[in-house]
Structure formats: structure tokens, C-alpha cells
Amino acid sequence: MAGKKGFFGPLIRWLLSCFRGVGRVKGKAPTARLITVGNSHFCEKARWVLDMSGTPYVEDAHMPLIHSHFTAEATQGGSTSVPVLVLGEGKVITDSSEIADHIAAAHPSLELYPPEQREAIKAFEEACNTTMAVAIRRMFYAVYCDNLWTQSLLARLYFGQNSIIENILLPITMFFFSRLIKRGGMVVSRVGEYQRDIERVLDDVEQRLSDGRSYLFGERMTAADICFASMAALLVRPTELQTIIGTDAIVPSTYKKLVDHYRSRRAGQFILRMYSEHRLSEGVKAAPFRQDPANKILGLRF
Ligand SMILES: N[C@@H](CCC(=O)N[C@@H](CS)C(=O)NCC(=O)O)C(=O)O
């Protein structure tokens, strides 16, 4: 009997999870759809600015490779990358910085880009988006795609976010995705190289904070802080984000060591502070994963 319970319990939980709606924005009709890969740091930047502005949206999360079907469809072949923000009236934004610009323009009271600092903030954002973000992505996938065990941990993350159809295809997609990562030269032996690119931006951040200021551009939080914290969140895995990037239980030991290293750095501490003080609304404990319930079943939107 105990054996049957042990089998049916997880099975029933899995079946229910396929149909769960993780929070269509309560009381408001969704007006925007954010197409993402759940763990993508570019997507987290978009999610953060959308959440802080109170913009109603649903998240349409997919695993890498499969995501391009949805982004290409939404942009009529214009873009394969995530995030893509599909707004009402046929407007589509295909870049995380443009999403931040859109939110900044629609919500001037957030003061994301104070006019006198706009240019400097944009230049800093560019360093985060290029050197650092690319190196973090390479490091992340090099470690997670390294062997069958680490691949299975990544698959577990996607399993909780995919639609049923995508989950059925998951072993095949994971196999091809891991091969692509390795063919692209993203391997664990190059982690030191990726770290050097990451450290360049972290050193710059620590240099800025060394005069005791609270934020990267002074005493006010700006888009620079949000951009840096969200783009580097995978380095320190803030607890507030674990609803989206998975709990520590599905982190490979090699990656855990990297996280410990970055958490011990001043720049890492800054990211953790940004998450604990600014990422969530008052009283909320974890980043809301506003996944569209329809997406759970077929990956289709109704
Ligand atoms: N400039 C883009 C870059 C986004 C980007 O590189 N996204 C990655 C995921 S982290 C991606 O979608 N890569 C797969 C692809 O381009 O098909 C932005 O800031 O939104």
C-alpha cells in the first residue's frame, strides 16, 4: 500500500502541475505577453522592470531551442531571441533594453534614467549586456550541459516550466541542446576564461561602490542597478528568484562553488541586497512567475 502511495502521490502532483496556472494577474486582464526562457538573465531584466511598473502581463516560458518557434512566430520571423514582449495593438519589443526604455517612458516616476545620467547608464548597461552577460551565459550552460547528471538537473528546471508537449520532447531537445553547447565551445575547462570577462564588470561595480555610495550611480536606484543585478543574478542565485531559476536542490556542485565565490564578493553582496530590497513588492517573498495557464497544456495561447 505504502508503495502505491509512493507512486501515485508524485504522479498526481505532476498531473496537477501540468494544469496549474501560476498566477494570471489577479483581477486584471493580461494585456502583454512576455516570451522567455525562464533562466535567461535578459528575461529577468525585462521581468523586473515590468513587475516594478505594475504592468499586467503573462509569461510564456519555453526551454532553449523551442523558444525560437514562439519568438519567430510573434515577430513574424524578425527575432529568435528572448525576451520578446508582445503588447496589445500589434506592438512587439524584441530586446530587453528596449523593454526597459519602454517602461521608463511609460512610467517616468520610476526615474530609471535620470536625464543627466542617461548616457553613462546606457554605456554601463552595454557592458553588462555584452561582456558580462555573454560570459555568464557561457559559464552557466558549460556547467549545466557538461554531463548527463548536470543535464538532468537543467531538464528538471525546464520540466516545471514547459508545456506538456515540450516536456514529452524534453529528452530529445536536451540532448541536441547540450550537443550544440559543446559544439559552440562552451565547456567546463573554459570557465576560468568566462570568469575573467565577468570579473571585469564586477571590478568596475566594486570600484563604483568603494566610495560608500548606495547605488551604482549615486544615492538613487536607476536602470543601471536593475540591469546589473538582474544580468548577474545567476552568479549569486538570490532566494527571491528561486521560483524561476529553481531551488538549490537542482544546482550542480561545480556551479554551487562558483555561486559561493560570487556571493563572497562585494559586487555579489550588492546583487543580493538589490534583490532583497528592490525586486519584490512589499510583503511578497518570491518573484512571481506569471505563467499563462494555457501554456501549461499545449504551449498554445488562447
Ligand atoms: N539583445 C538581446 C539579447 C538577448 C539574448 O541574447 N537572449 C538569449 C537568451 S539569454 C537568446 O535568446 N539566445 C537564443 C537566440 O538568440 O536564439 C536583449 O537584450 O534582449
Q: How far is it, in rounded angstroms, from Cα 123 to Cα 170?
A: 38
- Give the right CATH number for 115-279 from 2.60.40, 3.40.1560, 1.20.5, 1.20.1050: 1.20.1050
Long-range contacts of 215-222 (CB under 8 A, 24+ apart): 216/124, 217/114, 217/117, 217/120, 217/121, 217/124, 218/117, 220/111, 220/114, 221/274, 221/278, 222/111, 222/112, 222/113, 222/114, 222/117, 222/121
Residue position matching grid coordinates 559559464: 139
The string of pLDDT tens digits covering residues 158-179 is 998 888 888 889 999 999 999 9
- Answer with the residue of higher pLDDT: 248 or 165: 248
> Cα angle vertex 159, ends 129, 74, to 5°?
55
- Is 115-279 in the same CATH topology as 28-111+286-297? no
Q: List, in order, residues 6 or more apart from 203 with CB less than 8 Å away.
A: none
The reported pLDDT for the residue numbered 297 is 64
- Collapsing DSSP to helix, strand or coil, 105 comes out as helix
Q: Is 70 exceeded by the pLDDT of residue 23?
A: no
The string of pLDDT tens digits covering residues 180-200 is 999 999 999 999 999 999 999
Q: How many CB atoms lie within 10 A of CB 198?
A: 23
Mean pLDDT of 55-75: 90
Probe target for ligand 1 pocket from 37, 42, 154, with the most ligand atoms within 8 Å of CB: 42
Q: Which residues pair with 92 in a beta bridge?
A: 86
Atom in ligand 1 nearest the alpha carbon of residue 99? 20
Q: Is the beta carbon of 167 within 6 A of some atom in ligand 1?
A: no
Probe target for ligand 1 pocket from 66, 82, 226, with the most ligand atoms within 8 Å of CB: 82
Q: Is 90 exceeded by the pLDDT of residue 283?
A: no
Average pLDDT, whole number, for the chain? Answer: 90
- Domain positions in the chain are 28-111+286-297, 115-279
Q: Is 90 exceeded by the pLDDT of residue 271?
A: yes
Give the range among 123-137, 188-202, 277-291 with minimum mean pLDDT.
Answer: 277-291
Mean pLDDT of 123-141: 96
The reported pLDDT for the residue numbered 166 is 87
Q: How far is it, in rounded angstroms, from Cα 23 to Cα 15?
A: 18
The string of pLDDT tens digits covering residues 214-237 is 999 999 999 999 999 999 999 999
Atom in ligand 1 nearest the alpha carbon of residue 96? 20
Q: Is the beta carbon of 81 within 6 A of some atom in ligand 1?
A: yes
pLDDT band at 257 (very low <50, low <70, confident <90, very high): very high
Q: Is 80 exceeded by the pLDDT of residue 57?
A: yes
Give the range among 22-31, 36-45, 191-200 with minimum mean pLDDT.
Answer: 22-31
| Class level of CATH domain 28-111+286-297 | alpha beta
Q: Is 90 exceeded by the pLDDT of residue 204?
A: yes
Q: How many CB atoms lie within 10 A of CB 29?
A: 7
The reported pLDDT for the residue numbered 291 is 82
Q: Is 70 exceeded by the pLDDT of residue 286?
A: yes
- Answer with the residue of higher pLDDT: 97 or 294: 97
Q: Is the beta carbon of 37 within 6 A of some atom in ligand 1?
A: yes
Probe target for ligand 1 pocket from 81, 102, 144, with the most ligand atoms within 8 Å of CB: 81
The reported pLDDT for the residue numbered 302 is 37
